[in-house]
Amino acid sequence: MTTRTDDAAPARSVSLGGPLIRFRVAAYATGVALLGLVVEMLLQYVFRVELPQFVKMIPMVHGGLYLIYLLLAVDLAIKARWSMKGTLLVLIAGCIPFFSFVMERKVTHKVDAGLKL
């Protein structure tokens, strides 16, 4: 009787739970900040409303959140081994209103299914 020994151990998968959650939070925060920026710009430049100083800080808030979004998206892209095209689409999503929400859902479904973007 022979016993079977497998020399090749199964490939160790990288847990994407943490990076995915961080990316999702950043995507939502960036999307909300971008919508706030759009509203602020419409009020200021289209309707000529004089805004309080704290509202004028929305562009800086969005910029900071977008930088965090970029870093977390690249981190997830490296760990999930996304294609360059998929990574670039996700990175651009933080600049187009509502697109970060759409991409967040797509990324979540793909990562949960174990698929590459």
pLDDT tens figures, 6-52: 444 333 356 899 999 999 999 999 999 999 999 999 999 999 999 99
Domain contains 69 = yes
Q: Is 2 helix (H, G, I), strand (E, B) or coil?
A: coil
The answer to whether position 49 is within a domain reads: yes
Please report where in the chains the tokens 């996700």 appear, as a residue.
90
- Whether residue 47 lies inside any domain: the answer is yes
Residue 13 lies in a domain: no
Asked if residue 71 is part of any domain, the answer here is: yes
Residue 62 structural domain: 19-113
Query: Is residue 14 in a domain?
Result: no
Count of structural domains within the chain: 1
Q: Is 51 a member of any domain?
A: yes
State residue 112's pLDDT score.
Answer: 92
